Amino acid sequence: MTSQAFQDDRAHVFHSWSAQRALAPAVVAGGEGAWFWTEDGTRYLDFSSQLVNLNLGHQHPRVVAAIQEQAASLCTIAPSFGNAARGEAARLIAEVAPGDLNHVFFTNGGTEANEHAVRMARLATGRHKVLATYRSYHGATTGSITLTGDPRRWPNEPAMPGVVRFFGPYPYRSAFYAETDAQEGERALAHLEEVFTLEGPQTIAAVVLETVVGTNGILVPPDGYLAGVRELCDRHGVMLICDEVMSGFGRCGEWFAVDRWNVRPDLVTFAKGVNSGYVPLGGVVLGPRVYEAFAERAYPGGLTYSGHPLACAAAVATIEAMREEGINERVRRLGEEVVRPRLAKLQERHPSVGEVRGLGLFWAIELVRDRATREMLVPYNAAGEAAKPMLEVAAACKAQGVWPFTHFNRLHVVPPCVTSEKDLINGLDVIDDALDVADRYYTGA
């Protein structure tokens, strides 16, 4: 006997990224901290942070209270008005943003943030081309899906004109035949410089990249790479847009991941962890070059719910909670003292683990059939029967009460930043057991 909630879902909800008749979604009844539970009482340790956005976990009391308090005084107001929650959220975000990025344009989420960052860069420079990487995800609206490098872009083409693709650094599967991380960074920069030359630097408005690539691999850039991109952009008057929708607000142990490399972009986009998605919120933090371009002329863009008071109140509470609870410091410690050594042991124990990589609470386990050839456990963009090995790995995690995040041939370790050390270790133990499933598909020596 199915519940009314399940029946209503299957009768009326059209789900994203899904073949509708193939779905049988779990109906979630509640959550607390790093855990959530379904209507039948089954509990799961949320090792996906939902969509890598639940940085403060489920039902953080301070954030819930802030939303309730704001709702009691003012639920919404048009973006043309001033509002205390909106102004305070903007001030706090500007305080933790890199360098002199001091103004915030609020959106409803990450995809709109990237749309507006590109629009701002094009209008401020008077140029039209935007360079974006192959291994990337920037959102699902028309412009953002064009920027996106992964296969979700394919059925949405043709879309926004002017986007040119390039390869970012990925040492494990190097497009440049690099043998070290440093060599990968150098060759990736040389490749990008050649793309500039071939496209005409005077036609390029911006380079947009995920500071740490998220869904498409959790690819941490080699030291010096981002600084090299910054120098290349400066040399040609090109704007650097860092997409921190997934990597920001504690996920990498920093307010923004670029802080790790002391690089200042022209524009930073954010969403997800800014308030854990309790009320939808995203935005663009912009520096003086962009701000001055619109100081005397109107910016031709806006949203009805830009800077929604409930969302901004949640952001204020989130930033305050992160400061008081030392979230960034905690995430850095857990990443280095717990996750990195545990994943290194998994790599030693399981032949199907080709590589582990990441930082903070942002990690990928790349699974292969053969370590020598690096053949992926499932093919790129696998579906149906070809995707079976990864589906079985995910099912093995769920059977032991851990809800995983998988993409292609990778298992990502991305729990809430408030996850207890005990729960984190237990979750990694469950992954250890689940990888026995992947090992059964191993064909290498």
Q: What is the DSSP letter of 372?
A: T
C-alpha–C-alpha distance, residues 207 and 129, integer Å: 9
Over 80: is that where the pLDDT of 1 sits?
A: no
Domain membership of residue 199 (yes or no) is: yes
325, 347, 370 - which closes a domain: 325
Counting the structural domains of the chain, the total is 2
- HSE, side-chain direction, 13 A CA sphere, residue 401: 13
Q: Which two tokens stand for residue 145?
A: 């899906």
So what's the pLDDT on residue 445? 86
C-alpha–C-alpha distance, residues 364 and 49, integer Å: 14
Domain membership of residue 445 (yes or no) is: no
Domain membership of residue 444 (yes or no) is: no
C-alpha–C-alpha distance, residues 437 and 135, integer Å: 27
Q: Note the pLDDT tens digit of each residue in 275-304.
A: 999 999 999 999 999 999 999 999 999 999
Q: Are residues 193 and 238 in the same domain?
A: yes
Q: Which two tokens stand for residue 98?
A: 């890199």
Query: For residue 202, how many other CB atoms are within 10 A of its CB?
Result: 13
Domain membership of residue 433 (yes or no) is: yes
So what's the pLDDT on residue 86? 98
Q: Are residues 340 and 310 in the same domain?
A: no
* CATH code for the domain of 265: 3.40.640.10
Is 35 strand, coil or helix? strand
Work out the average pLDDT over 20-30. 95
325, 346, 379 - which closes a domain: 325
Q: Note the pLDDT tens digit of each residue in 303-350.
A: 999 999 999 999 999 999 999 999 999 999 999 999 999 999 999 999
At residue 197 the predicted structure's pLDDT band, cuts being 50, 70 and 90, is: very high
Encode 259-268: b = buried (16+ Cβ within 10 Å), e = exposed: bbbebbbbbb
How distant is the alpha carbon of residue 402 from its chain centre?
Answer: 20
Please check whether residue 316 is in contact with residue 88, taking contact to mean a CB–CB distance below 8 angstroms. Answer: yes
Q: Are residues 47 and 158 in the same domain?
A: no
Q: What is the DSSP letter of 396?
A: H
Q: Note the pLDDT tens digit of each residue in 207-224.
A: 999 999 999 999 999 999
Q: Is this model's pTM higher than 0.85 or not?
A: yes
Residue carrying the six token digits 């609020």: 106
